[in-house]
């Protein structure tokens, strides 16, 4: 089983709909992140959380919200989906420490039509 699990893996939704992407981890890491990846733009940080009571905006947080329900769970919501939010979304986790690598989930491919 994957250490960082994202659900769903693929989703097609309509413009204006609310959608939630979920991430759970069994690595016991405190830090969790949401990134989106677009062709030619690379990985960009949406939100991150260093513990259950800590939520921080990343580079591109507009149009998104998050909830850290537990140490192991971090969900990303699109309140009113729009077509330019069509992308590959990755959840990641890490421990603290400057040399700590990030471990990524398998990604959620979201299409907004």
Partner 1 sequence: GQNIDQPTEMTATEGAIVQINCTYQTSGFNGLFWYQQHAGEAPTFLSYNVLDGLEEKGRFSSFLSRSKGYSYLLLKELQMKDSASYLCAVRDRASGYSTLTFGKGTMLLVSP
Give the residue carrying structure tokens 């959840």: 91
Using the minimum distance from each CB to partner 1, give the nearer residue, 64 or 90: 90
Instruction: Work out how close the CB of 97 gets to partner 1 at its nearest, in angstroms, rounded to a whole number.
Output: 10
| 113 vs 14: CA distance, rounded Å | 5
Q: Which helix (H) or strand (E) holds 63?
A: none
| 76 vs 63: CA distance, rounded Å | 11
Using the minimum distance from each CB to partner 1, give the nearer residue, 65 or 103: 103
Using the minimum distance from each CB to partner 1, give the nearer residue, 33 or 64: 33
Which residues contact partner 1 (rule: CB under 8 A)?
A: 4, 33, 35, 40-45, 48, 50, 56, 58-59, 88, 90, 98-99, 101-107, 109
φ and ψ of 95, to 5 deg: -90, 175
């Amino acid at each position: 089983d994957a250490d960082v699990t994202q659900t769903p893996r693929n989703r097609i939704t309509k413009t204006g709909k609310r959608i939630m992407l979920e991430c759970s981890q069994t690595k016991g890491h405190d830090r969790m992140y949401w990134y989106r990846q677009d062709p030619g733009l690379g990985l960009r940080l949406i939100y991150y959380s260093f513990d259950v009571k800590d939520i921080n905006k990343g580079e591109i947080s507009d149009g998104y919200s998050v909830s850290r329900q537990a140490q192991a769970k971090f969900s990303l919501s699109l309140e009113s989906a729009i077509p330019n939010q069509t992308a590959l979304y990755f959840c990641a986790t890490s421990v603290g420490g400057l040399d700590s690598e990030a471990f990524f989930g398998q990604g959620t491919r979201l299409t907004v039509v």
